[in-house]
Amino acid sequence: MLQTGRKIDIRKWKADAFESKEDVVAIEEPLQILVQNKAISITMRTPGDDKALALGFLFTEGILKSFSQVEDIIQTDENSVNVLLEESVLQQLPDLQKNFYTTSSCGVCGKSSIDKIYQISSFDIKSNNLKVEAKIFTHLQDRLLNVQTAFQETGGIHAAVLFDAQGNYFYHSEDVGRHNALDKLIGHVMIAGKLPLTKYILLLSGRSSFELIQKAAMAGISVVCAVGAPSSLAVDLAENVGITLLGFLKKTGYNVYSHPERILIDAS
């Protein structure tokens, strides 16, 4: 179960005076991800869904190709997950000496060069002919708030949400880290055997950064929309891999930064 918030006593300044109140802050704790008992990553996350987070991270980093390669997942303690892989898979893995030290605000910290950031998706996103009516996107933010319970409690939690092309809710995950929320979501759909996510829209509760677009590409997602702004690298990557990227999503409209051909305008 997701452990999203912790109650604390605070002093609130309001109407020229302090008052004592109880507040809820988002929980942030380290998770160590191991493969074959070897630590390869430490990420700051919201506790809960740790096994899905570990799987999603390993998949989006190109270490895993499918859930069938996993022999077992062991939660060794409250802040550590050990992923055991099939022996035949181990011989084909990239160098696990590479460490992926990340924080809740940076999904690519610790990478030694820009070349190591780029991963090759197994899915051809450019050929994905998914089409979405333009007006569908303007309703997604309200639907996000309906399912993002942790944010309503703490105000400090991000969400990654999947909708179908008609705007119907499919699944979501939450975490204090934007990239962790997406890794958790991808981990869950990976376990469920739903990859690639070619028929779904991904909605991000914050801004869209390079590493989030990379993770979306690894999962075969061709349409990504975000409540906040995209970074320049996010736009470049989306354009290069074939992702339709939307930003500043509101009820009244949004910006389209790449591949607008997937968005249909009702001419009636």
CATH of the domain at 194: 3.40.140.10
**Do residue 163 and residue 87 come from a single domain?**
no
CATH of the domain at 93: 3.10.20.10
Q: What domain range is 99 assigned to? A: 29-116
Q: pLDDT for 54-105, tens place per residue?
A: 999 999 988 888 999 999 999 999 999 999 998 877 777 655 645 454 545 5
Q: pLDDT for 138-178, tens place per residue?
A: 999 888 877 766 555 555 688 999 999 999 999 999 998 99
Question: What pLDDT score does 6 carry?
Answer: 78
How many domains does one find in the chain? Answer: 2
Q: Are strands 132-133 and 263-264 parallel, antiparallel or unpaired?
A: parallel
22 lies in some domain: no
**Do residue 69 and residue 138 come from a single domain?**
no
Of 107-111, 173-177, 258-262, the poorest mean pLDDT is in 107-111
- Which has more confidence, 187 or 12? 187
Q: Please, which pLDDT band fits residue 112 given cuts at 50, 70 and 90?
A: very low
Partners of residue 208 on adjacent β-strands: 230
Q: Which of 55, 43, 50 is nearest to 102 (CA)?
A: 43
CA distances from 168 to 119, 140, 161, 201, 260 (A): 30, 9, 11, 10, 21
Residue 116 has pLDDT above 60, yes or no: no
Q: What is the pTM of this model?
A: 0.85
**What DSSP element (H or E) covers 237?**
helix 232-241
258 lies in some domain: yes
**Do residue 74 and residue 159 come from a single domain?**
no
Q: Which active-site residues does the annotation give?
A: 106
Q: Are strands 158-164 and 200-204 parallel, antiparallel or unpaired?
A: antiparallel
17 lies in some domain: no
**Do residue 172 and residue 104 come from a single domain?**
no
89 lies in some domain: yes
**Do residue 93 and residue 139 come from a single domain?**
no
Kindly state the percentage of the chain with pLDDT values over 90: 57
